A and B are shown apart, each in its own frame.
Chain A
Amino acid sequence: MSQVESDVKTLVIDEQEVSAQAGQTILEVALENEIKIPTLCHLEGLSDVGACRLCLVEIKGNSKLLPACVTVVQEGMEVSTNSERLQKHRRTILELLFAERNHICSVCVSNGHCELQTLGQEQGLTHVRLPYRNPELGVDASHERFTVDHNRCILCTRCVRVCAEIEGAHVWDVMGRGINSVVITDLHEEWGKSTCTRCGKCVQVCPTGALFDKSKIGSDHPKYPDFLPYLNLMREAQ
């Protein structure tokens, strides 16, 4: 009985000792222990891509910052999730997002229910120092039920992943590169003419007002992405 079971790891997150199963990510363990790490591209139920860089954490003995959503826990790890260095980077990243396209909350369908807006408030972002880029991007309202407003899109690719991984349709993808990247349906067809199955999952997982339900314009427009983990669980059980 002297051998320690190797599939259980103990580590320290923000000076709090926690235990974890081997293979769990830092983010999962932190959430279990009510330690909040800001995330944007991560969504429970979807694969992680480590793209938004908001969940970066510091690990003792490693000069690089690592994304909590994809970094697997190791025995004896000492993780710091909210240092001054991290807070500063997070605010700059949020500023970059706000300045990248057009995020005027007061005229957005998701005002009050937007993850980007909430993060800005939580991270103490009071103003944006960077010049707004205000690119001229279109709105595709060709779909009978939904609309995509590229001006509000932050390219988190949740819609791409939910459509490919959960719905299995892979209607959404990313076109172009760098600052000119944009999400498209099919091979850049209009959404209304695409092979969309009209399931609406992409709308529910979209963290901002980029994807929205036409029938909800002008009204309170919360989104409900919580169905994903349950859906996955039920599918696995079958």
Chain B
Amino acid sequence: MTIEELEQIAKTARQEREKYDFEVNVCMDLACASQGAGELKDALVKAAEASGKKVCVRRTGCMGPCSHGPLVRVDPEETLYHHVKQADAAAIVGHLGNQPVAPLQCDLHEHFDKQVRVVLENAGYIDPEKIEDYIARDGYKALLTVLMEMTPGGVVHRVTESGLRGRGGGGYPTGLKWSTVAKAKGDLKYVVCNGDEGDPGAFMDRSVMEGDPHRVIEGMAIAAYAVGASKGFIYVRAEYPVAVSRLTTALREARRHGLLGNNISNTPFNFDVEIRLGAGAFVCGEETALIASIEGKRGTPKPRPPYPASSGLWGKPTLINNVETYANIAPIVRNGGKWFFNMGSERSKGTKVFALTGKIANTGLVEVPMGIKLREIIEVIGGGVPEGHKFKAVQTGGPSGGCIPEEMLDIGVSYDALLKMGSIMGSGGMIVMDDTSCMVNVARFFIEFCMTESCGKCIPCRAGTAQMYTLLTRISTGTGTMDDLAMLEELCATVKETSLCGLGQTAPNPVLSTLKYFRNEYLEHILHKRCRAGVCTMEGIGTELANEVTA
């Protein structure tokens, strides 16, 4: 495959599109599909055939505002319809070329206007199983340009220049990681894509893998060229069967077009990718555990150093990046490092995809420039907390993150700012909570998650999270004491400072942050046996102990 051939495919795909007057895009991501987007698409195809109009009905990846699903967007007018049912198909096709169907039309201008789409630029515009659709939107152009015109060092330089930081949560500078692996000695190196997204309430990586799988593969191939690797692995959790099937199709298509394999684009560069499935362990998102799992061993972390950059898969230098990190690579190569560097805040560049969930009007995927205020994400893009309730906190970073209260909402989103607030960027889950959420219960939920997902290798995480769960259960059922609270805080410190891997080291964050910002709720549970949100059932009321404490 040469650049000319690539352009020919793009041209043919565009010509194919020009045959139609209208494009009806149906979001077929899980949220929409579960509400009948599949039948809807069939109905639209039938209606289009019956109407005699030149209409192309296309399935696409996630369009973003999942709570409005099933979504249909009609191009070229860009009319967005929400909550579309099978029965509405005829009306939508019938109105093509005339006024839109008013009752279905959805006005989400504020939601979309504040967003900047880099990673999600193709989401909602391409059929994820058609490589031609991706190529028509400049797909694989970056890879072939890199192979024809750039040295590996030049690619590393461009990524370094962009200021991109790892999107998996830690925020390690991507360019630095790449240059470390590039410098590591060894004739065999590996590139690994971490698609083991496991945070409760996070689905960014799934949407990217399902909606735009070629973007991930292209990013990996560019990374492999830059660091001198010839073999790649995508580690996807088995709970994402659609992502696995889309990636499998994408890999097959890429191989068929000579974009993977030996002597890609007639250069000496060889690269191919294998998919490995995770068996449902959250800890396998930690890079050393992920490596063990790919090697076929029990997925438990190892102390670092040695880092995977020097000794990773089967002891070879290995580059591990998150799905979203790889998804940023092709646009960076195409538009230059400076372009990316100019987006975002001082030390966090570019954009970030967040999965908005919880008590918020527009749940779904959003992509915003770094540095945007949390308040804007929640109130403008997310549409705020539904009527009748009051915002209480937003939980970022999953079980490793923390809860951020209302008074901190005017701080811009960046790796450093979130860390300062006692939370982390994490992979990008954002759970909004209102006055019906009890913060003690939230902390207990996340500790329970960490307890069941701990691998059990090191003691602080294995037994510490279990003890913390016991103490939090006591507090939330009204049988806790002030001694329990003191013990809880002491355990938080030990688990945080002494655990072996990131899972244990960050497991106390939900407890620490709720203790920092919502200590009153803990005290109310302990001293007054009261849960202001009405979530916790107080067993302690009426017992001797309770009377003694409240007296």
Binding site for B on A (CB under 8 A): 49-53, 56, 64-65, 67, 70-72, 88-89, 92-93, 96-97, 99-100, 129-131, 133, 154-155, 157, 173-174, 176-181
Q: Are A49 and B459 in contact (CB under 8 A)?
A: no
A-facing mask of B280-316, CB < 8 A → 1, else 0? 0101000000000000001000110100000000000
A-facing mask of B441-459, CB < 8 A → 1, else 0? 0000000000111111111
Q: What would be 25 A-B contacts, judged by CB atoms less than 8 Å apart? A: A49-B457, A53-B458, A53-B498, A70-B303, A89-B493, A89-B494, A92-B491, A92-B494, A93-B494, A96-B459, A96-B460, A96-B463, A99-B463, A130-B467, A154-B459, A174-B298, A177-B283, A177-B453, A177-B454, A177-B455, A178-B455, A178-B456, A179-B454, A179-B465, A180-B456
Could you say which residues of chain B place their CB within 8 Å of the CB of A97? 459, 463
The distance in angstroms between the C-alpha atoms of A178 and B460, with both chains bound, is: 11
Could you say which residues of chain A place their CB within 8 Å of the CB of B215? none
Contact A92/B490 with A51-B457, A131-B467, A179-B463 known, Cβ cut-off 8 Å: yes
B497 lies within 8 A of chain A by Cβ: yes
The distance in angstroms between the C-alpha atoms of A181 and B451, with both chains bound, is: 12
Q: Are B455 and A56 in contact (CB under 8 A)?
A: no
B500 lies within 8 A of chain A by Cβ: yes
Q: How far is the CB of B315 from chain A (nearest CB, A)?
A: 14
Chain A residue at minimal CB-CB distance from B483: A129
Q: Are A178 and B298 in contact (CB under 8 A)?
A: no
Q: Are B458 and A51 in contact (CB under 8 A)?
A: yes
Could you say which residues of chain B place their CB within 8 Å of the CB of A96? 459-460, 463-464, 467, 494
Q: Are A129 and B487 in contact (CB under 8 A)?
A: yes
Chain A residue at minimal CB-CB distance from B454: A178
Q: How far is the CB of A27 from chain B (nearest CB, A)?
A: 12
Q: Are A131 and B498 in contact (CB under 8 A)?
A: no
The distance in angstroms between the C-alpha atoms of A108 and B524, with both chains bound, is: 43
Q: How far is the CB of B298 from chain A (nearest CB, A)?
A: 7
Contact A178/B466 with A53-B460, A96-B459, A155-B456 known, Cβ cut-off 8 Å: yes
Q: Are A179 and B497 in contact (CB under 8 A)?
A: no
- Partner of A178 from the list B452, B467, B470 (CB cut-off 8 Å) is B452
The distance in angstroms between the C-alpha atoms of A56 and B298, with both chains bound, is: 24
Chain B, 489-506, CB within 8 A of any chain A CB: 490-491, 493-494, 497-500
The distance in angstroms between the C-alpha atoms of A129 and B462, with both chains bound, is: 18
Contact A53/B467 with A177-B454, A178-B456, A180-B456 known, Cβ cut-off 8 Å: no
Could you say which residues of chain A place their CB within 8 Å of the CB of B493? 89
- Partner of B487 from the list A70, A130, A154 (CB cut-off 8 Å) is A130
Contact A52/B487 with A93-B494, A174-B298, A177-B454 known, Cβ cut-off 8 Å: no
Q: Are B498 and A93 in contact (CB under 8 A)?
A: yes
Classify chain B: how many residues form its interface, as a range.
20 to 34
Q: Are A179 and B462 in contact (CB under 8 A)?
A: yes
The distance in angstroms between the C-alpha atoms of A207 and B137, with both chains bound, is: 62
Chain B residue at minimal CB-CB distance from A56: B498
Binding site for A on B (CB under 8 A): 281, 283, 298, 302-303, 305, 451-460, 462-467, 470, 487, 490-491, 493-494, 497-500
Q: Are B470 and A131 in contact (CB under 8 A)?
A: yes
- Given contact pairs A70-B303, A155-B457, A178-B451, enumerate 5 new A-B contacts (beta carbons under 8 Å): A53-B458, A53-B499, A53-B500, A89-B494, A92-B491
Could you say which residues of chain B place their CB within 8 Å of the CB of A89? 493-494, 497-498
Q: Are A93 and B467 in contact (CB under 8 A)?
A: no
Chain B residue at minimal CB-CB distance from A182: B456
Q: How far is the CB of B455 from chain A (nearest CB, A)?
A: 5
Chain B residue at minimal CB-CB distance from A70: B303
- Partner of A99 from the list B458, B467, B490 (CB cut-off 8 Å) is B467
Could you say which residues of chain A place their CB within 8 Å of the CB of B305? 72
Chain B residue at minimal CB-CB distance from A66: B303
The distance in angstroms between the C-alpha atoms of A53 and B463, with both chains bound, is: 12
The distance in angstroms between the C-alpha atoms of A52 and B464, with both chains bound, is: 12
The distance in angstroms between the C-alpha atoms of A178 and B499, with both chains bound, is: 13
Contact A179/B451 with A50-B303, A89-B498, A130-B487 known, Cβ cut-off 8 Å: yes
Q: How far is the CB of A48 from chain B (nearest CB, A)?
A: 8
The distance in angstroms between the C-alpha atoms of A201 and B233, with both chains bound, is: 38
Could you say which residues of chain B place their CB within 8 Å of the CB of A64? 497
Could you say which residues of chain A place their CB within 8 Å of the CB of B491? 92
The distance in angstroms between the C-alpha atoms of A176 and B298, with both chains bound, is: 10
- Partner of B462 from the list A50, A88, A155 (CB cut-off 8 Å) is A155
Q: Are A65 and B498 in contact (CB under 8 A)?
A: yes
The distance in angstroms between the C-alpha atoms of A52 and B463, with both chains bound, is: 11
Q: Are A51 and B459 in contact (CB under 8 A)?
A: yes
The distance in angstroms between the C-alpha atoms of A5 and B204, with both chains bound, is: 52
Q: Are A178 and B459 in contact (CB under 8 A)?
A: no
The distance in angstroms between the C-alpha atoms of A131 and B305, with both chains bound, is: 35
Could you say which residues of chain A place their CB within 8 Å of the CB of B466? 100, 133, 178-179
The distance in angstroms between the C-alpha atoms of A178 and B452, with both chains bound, is: 6
The distance in angstroms between the C-alpha atoms of A180 and B455, with both chains bound, is: 9
Contact A178/B494 with A50-B303, A67-B303, A131-B470 known, Cβ cut-off 8 Å: no
Q: How far is the CB of A186 from chain B (nearest CB, A)?
A: 15
The distance in angstroms between the C-alpha atoms of A46 and B499, with both chains bound, is: 22
Could you say which residues of chain B place their CB within 8 Å of the CB of A179? 451, 454, 456, 462-463, 465-466
Could you say which residues of chain B place their CB within 8 Å of the CB of A52? 458-459
Q: Are A100 and B463 in contact (CB under 8 A)?
A: yes
Could you say which residues of chain B place their CB within 8 Å of the CB of A71? 303
Could you say which residues of chain A place their CB within 8 Å of the CB of B458? 50-53
The distance in angstroms between the C-alpha atoms of A71 and B306, with both chains bound, is: 9
Q: Are A174 and B456 in contact (CB under 8 A)?
A: yes
Q: How far is the CB of B203 from chain A (nearest CB, A)?
A: 24
Q: How far is the CB of A104 from chain B (nearest CB, A)?
A: 17
Q: How far is the CB of B475 from chain A (nearest CB, A)?
A: 13
Could you say which residues of chain B place their CB within 8 Å of the CB of A51? 457-459, 500
Could you say which residues of chain B place their CB within 8 Å of the CB of A56? 498
Could you say which residues of chain A place their CB within 8 Å of the CB of B460? 53, 92-93, 96
Chain A residue at minimal CB-CB distance from B453: A178
The distance in angstroms between the C-alpha atoms of A118 and B462, with both chains bound, is: 22
Q: How far is the CB of B341 from chain A (nearest CB, A)?
A: 29
The CB with the most chain A CB atoms within 10 A, among B453, B466, B500, is that of B466
Q: How far is the CB of A87 from chain B (nearest CB, A)?
A: 12
The distance in angstroms between the C-alpha atoms of A184 and B494, with both chains bound, is: 29
Q: How far is the CB of B88 from chain A (nearest CB, A)?
A: 47
Could you say which residues of chain A place their CB within 8 Å of the CB of B456? 155, 174, 176-181
